[in-house]
Chain A
């Protein structure tokens, strides 16, 4: 749900439209499902361009790095993909959510 009074300059979807108009290649990542305590609700966006510039968030900064890397690949390949993040498992060197929740993030190319 988008209820926050976000100024347009901070709104990921408005930014994505602006980047598109500038001719940049753009990917949009969206939180589609959350379980347990998740930092950002379903519907939250992170937008990424081909150079790795990004705006918005899908977590509290815990998994953004991994999403950006995947997004740059999605921009090249064109196929959307679903990412899933759970509790951080330090021994396995996985990226995760320290808050104990689990989220699914859908990453797609714009156009």
Chain B
């Protein structure tokens, strides 16, 4: 492996950007390809598929053997609101392998006693998101019920292309939210991508059950990510 490639690959991974190390298994030469870099021909098709599926694979092209090692950023879950649901969600996200962080400016809610094992920010979302920006490998669940806290991160999440955006609230609450998000400049299609009522329809009633429904919906969205991206590519092709 070329030391320059290793540095470049690690740099992409630290920045939470998808990257692929392409190795010619015949001569050992390698290069780093970022998601979206144009690569022509059958190799380009194989690379796109690898980014979509997230699976590393060998590709035989024109009698040459290549190894495509895909590195997707680990999925992250940002929860707006240090509420009862978030407490249950914190342990579930950990089990499912998601990095979770909670943002809530209400210091009475966002206490280390209530959230011992999770990254917790007792600050306004707009301040935290400036230093920890959202990206396509991040899910956002807004669960405070308070428009002052929830609305802005929802708008940011949709614009950042987060693979999942969910908002707690009844259909009535959500109808009002739709109006507010429109005035923040989101299109109908963008607003339609927000999951609300939040969570899979499993009849969840308790905070812990709602957390299960949210976690399930986040996982479903992540696993369908490749499919969704493929449909988008088809649309723009």
Chain A interface (Cβ < 8 Å from any Cβ of B): 1-6, 8, 13-14, 16-17, 20, 28, 30, 32-33, 41-43, 79-80, 82, 106, 108-111
Contact = CB atoms under 8 A, between A and B. Distances in A.
B28 A20 contact: no
B218 to A, nearest CB: 14
Interface in B51-106: 54-58, 67, 69-72, 74-75, 97-99
Contacts of A108: 1, 23, 28
Given A80-B28, A110-B1, A5 B7 contact: no
Contacts of A8: 14
Nearest to A31: B56
Contacts of A1: 54-56, 70, 72
Q: Chain B contact residues: over half helix, strand or loop, or mixed?
A: mixed
A70 to B, nearest CB: 15
The 8 closest A-B pairs by CB, nearest first: A43-B56, A80-B28, A42-B56, A5-B74, A1-B54, A111-B3, A43-B69, A2-B71
19 contacts: A1-B54, A1-B70, A2-B70, A2-B72, A3-B54, A3-B75, A3-B97, A6-B74, A13-B9, A17-B7, A20-B3, A32-B25, A32-B58, A41-B55, A42-B58, A106-B23, A108-B1, A110-B1, A111-B1
B-side interface size class = 20 to 34
Contacts of B54: 1, 3
B229 interface: no
Contacts of B97: 3-5
Contacts of A106: 23, 25, 67
B204 interface: no
A5 B98 contact: yes
B6 interface: yes
A17 B13 CA distance: 13
Nearest to A43: B56
Given A14-B10, A17-B6, A32-B67, A3 B25 contact: no
Interface string B1-36: 111001101100110000000010100100000000
B6 A30 contact: no
A82 B69 contact: no
A20 B25 CA distance: 22
A4 B13 contact: no
Contacts of B74: 2-6
